[in-house]
Structure 1
Amino acid sequence: MPQAPDRRPRGIRNNNPGNLNYVGQAGAHKEPGPDGRFAVFPTPEAGLKALRNQLCLFMGRDRLKTVNAIIAKWAPPNENNTSAYAQFVARKIGVEASVDLGPATPTLIGNMMAAIIEYENGQNPYGSLIAQVAADLPTSGAAA
């Protein structure tokens, strides 16, 4: 009997809840098929760590300080309704999209991760795992 197709959102199926493009991330591979461009991580935790690290790079290395700036780079307007995305994330984390977020903290990063996951996938099945991953912020590239 054939197996039923996996109907979970692409980001959940790929253990990549932020829908990060594949760029050679350690332990990941590019999703198969002609439309494959996203990273596939071996575990949900690995995908959450990649999401956390990317947010920290945007805030630290790239000095993106507002939800508007972060989401414009995360989900460029040529592919997304960036304004609606930024407003969703800002509302979920309780700030205005144009306000300086300050330093990257585990709470801020965890809240942003949860909002991005929900927007990207229409659901967030990760619960407390997000806070666990966000609690261990990388030091390289993190915003001070």
Structure 2
Amino acid sequence: MQQSSPRGIRNNNPGNIGRGDEWKGLVPTAQRTDKSFCQFTSPEYGIRAMVIILRNYQRKHGLNTVSGIINRWAPPNENNTQAYINSVAQAVGVSPDHKIDVGDSRIMLPLLEAIIKHENGQQPYGFDVFVRALGLAG
């Protein structure tokens, strides 16, 4: 990827997941150049991590609305969270406080696409990349 690509796309981390957890598919430690965000070997692994996080938000934290999910994903101290919530809810086709099930691919796919677009200003991945990522997530 050329330097002009957004950071999340360059890092194969389109959800801009911060460093911390040792995710499957991370670039080897010696090759990591981003001090703040995870760098994955392919976008599929970055999207896989997003899927796992979103599933955990629902399963472990009871977050089952776009509003609840995005408030945790992109907290107001770092983001214009309300604008983020509104754009994701519109893309998913629900109101911000409508209950959603991230286990339903008809919800998960547009949710992933909307988060990626909001994080990077673009969503460059084809359907096949999401299918592979969901397969990796199990």
The Cα of 1:23 is off from its aligned counterpart by 1.3
Structure 1 residue runs of 5 or longer lacking an equivalent are 139-144
Alpha carbons of structure 1 residues 96 and 136: separation in structure 2 relative to 1, 3 Å: farther
Q: Deviations over 1:32-80 (max 9, x none)?
A: 36xx211001111111101111111111111101100000000000000
Aligned residue number for residue 114 of structure 1:
113
Q: TM-score, normalised by structure 2?
A: 0.86
Which letter maps to 2:13?
Answer: N
Alpha carbons of structure 1 residues 64 and 87: separation in structure 2 relative to 1, 3 Å: same
The Cα of 1:134 is off from its aligned counterpart by 3.4
Alpha carbons of structure 1 residues 10 and 103: separation in structure 2 relative to 1, 3 Å: closer
In terms of fraction of residues, the more helix-rich structure is 2
Q: Could you tell me how far apart the structure 1 residues matched to 2:108 and 2:130 are?
A: 9
Aligned residue number for residue 142 of structure 1:
none
1:24 pairs with 2:21: yes
Aligned residue number for residue 134 of structure 1:
134
Aligned residue number for residue 70 of structure 1:
69
Structure 1 segments, 4+ long, off by >6 Å, are none
Which letter maps to 2:26?
Answer: A
- Counterpart of 1:40 in 2: which secondary structure? coil
- Counterpart of 1:60 in 2: which secondary structure? helix
The Cα of 1:137 is off from its aligned counterpart by 5.4
The structure whose Rg is larger is: 1
- Identical-pair percentage: 37
Any conservation in 2 of the 1:66–1:98 contact (CA below 8 Å)?
Answer: yes
- Counterpart of 2:61 in 1: which secondary structure? coil
Structure 2 residue runs of 5 or longer lacking an equivalent are none
Q: TM-score, normalised by structure 1?
A: 0.83
Alpha carbons of structure 1 residues 111 and 32: separation in structure 2 relative to 1, 3 Å: same
